[in-house]
Homo-oligomer: A and B are copies of this chain.
Amino acid sequence: MNKNDFAKTPPMGWNSYDYYDTTVTEQEIKANADYMAKYLKEYGWEYVVVDIQWYVKNAGARRDEYQYLPFSDLAMDDYGRLLPAPNRFPSSADGSGFAHLAEYIHGLGLKFGIHIMRGIPRAAAHANLPICGGTARAMEAADPYSICGWNPDMYGVKNNAAGQQYYDALIAMYADWGVDFIKCDDICDSWLYRGTPLAFSGWEEMRMLHEAIEKCGRPLVLSVSPGPAQLEQAWRYGAYANMWRMTDDFWDDWGCLENMFARCEQWQEHVKAGCYPDCDMLPLGMLGRGFGGERTCNFTRDEQKTMLTLWCMFRSPLMVGAELTKLDEDTRRLLTNRALLSLLGEGRRGRQLARTDAYAVWLNTGSEEEMTAVALFNLSKEPRKISLPVKELPGFAGENELCLLELWEEETAAVCQGVIEALVAPHGVKVFAVTEKRR
Contacts and interface: CB of A to CB of B under 8 A. Distances in A.
Interface of A: 70-71, 122-123, 125-126, 128, 139, 142-145, 147, 149-150, 152, 191-192, 195-198, 231-232, 234-235, 265-266, 268-270, 352
Contacts of A191: 197
The copy count of this chain in the complex is 4
B235 A265 contact: yes
Contacts of A152: 144-145
A198 B195 contact: no
A144 B150 CA distance: 10
Contacts of A126: 71, 122-123, 126
28 contacts: A70-B143, A71-B125, A71-B128, A71-B142, A71-B144, A122-B144, A126-B126, A144-B147, A144-B152, A145-B147, A147-B147, A147-B198, A149-B198, A192-B197, A192-B198, A195-B195, A195-B196, A196-B198, A198-B198, A231-B231, A231-B266, A232-B266, A234-B266, A234-B269, A235-B265, A235-B266, A269-B269, A269-B270
Contacts of A143: 70
A149 B235 contact: no
Nearest to A192: B197
A71 B139 contact: yes
Contacts of A192: 197-198
Nearest to A197: B192
A142 B71 CA distance: 10
Contacts of A149: 145, 197-198
Contacts of A147: 144-145, 147, 198
A70 B139 contact: yes
Contacts of A352: 235
A212 to B, nearest CB: 19
Contact of A231 (B70, B198, B232): B232
Nearest to A150: B145
Contacts of A232: 231, 266
A207 to B, nearest CB: 11
A274 to B, nearest CB: 13
B142 A70 contact: yes
A36 B266 CA distance: 39
Tell me which of A143, A150, A192, A232 has the highest count of chain B C-beta atoms within 10 A of its own C-beta.
A232
Contacts of A268: 235
Tell me which of A71, A152, A195, A196 has the highest count of chain B C-beta atoms within 10 A of its own C-beta.
A71
